[in-house]
Amino acid sequence: MDLRDRVSMLMRDVAASAVMPRFRQLAPGEIDEKTPGEIVTIADRDAEARLHAGLAALDPGARIVGEEAAGQDPRLLDGIGDGRVWLIDPLDGTANFAEGRAPFGLMVALVEDGEPVAGWMLDPLSGRMCHAERGGGASCDGQPVRARAALRTPPRAALGTHFMTAERRARVEAAAEGALAVQPVPRCAAESYPRLVLGHDDIALFQRILPWDHAAGALFLTEAGGRATHWDGTPWRVGGAGQGMLAAATPDLWRVAAELLLGVLAETAANEEGIA
């Protein structure tokens, strides 16, 4: 059994044992607030512990960084762009999960010197597994997939503005008005990236770029023919200095979104830093 299948099996086992038995079954004491507005559940912690143990057995020489462990000890992120690192998001979309609704998912990525080389995203409700290997393409449930150009006008965009300042949010929304069909964001990167590849959305914008949120998805998208960059247009990488993420199903759609949004983002960043 190759690494792709071993990690897929591990993730499915963890979803079945640590996540799904708690869906719509969480007791009040099993939900905590780890930072203002950010929650964590017993399912997050249990799933991360099981994924960490499984990956350590599969790849003993590699470093492993999980979202919940890094939340407890931010020093784990030091040098995250160096060497061979496994990244774990044990339950992406925790707020959705805690409210008893979809989407939510498990994500694992293997990164070498800041570059994702393999990624997995599992939807435990449907069983859908998205996978990608650098230079090896993208697949969904074992079948190769390619992202497609938009067949609709205007393009459909999920704009993650909820972490933005009020000024930046207003400017982005004004720039998109009429030019993009803005959709509600799923609040789950494990769903956002498959939507781009599978034709549900054309463009996605993110402000927060925590490594476990994007490593697997960005690789899946780019290996399927899409494009994902920082807001300055530089390639996204783990541990990089770039801000934000602009992702699109095709390079042409990325250029459409960039012309509409990136100038606005740069202007508001300058205003917020007191430069302009």
pLDDT digits (tens, 9 = 90+) for 176-232: 999 999 999 999 999 999 999 999 999 999 999 999 999 999 999 999 999 999 999
User: Distance (Å, rounded) from C-alpha 219 to C-alpha 226?
Assistant: 9
CB atoms within 10 A of CB 58: 13
Say which residue the tokens 């920082």 belong to.
230
Residue 275, pLDDT score: 44
Given pLDDT bands bounded at 50, 70 and 90, which one contains residue 269?
low
Q: What are phi and psi of 233, to 5 degrees?
A: 90, -5
| Domains recognised in the chain with CATH numbers | 3-145 (3.30.540.10), 156-272 (3.40.190.80)
Per cent of the chain over pLDDT 70 is 97
Enter the pTM of the model: 0.95
What residue type is assigned to position 124 of the chain? P
Contact 64, 56 (CB under 8 A): yes
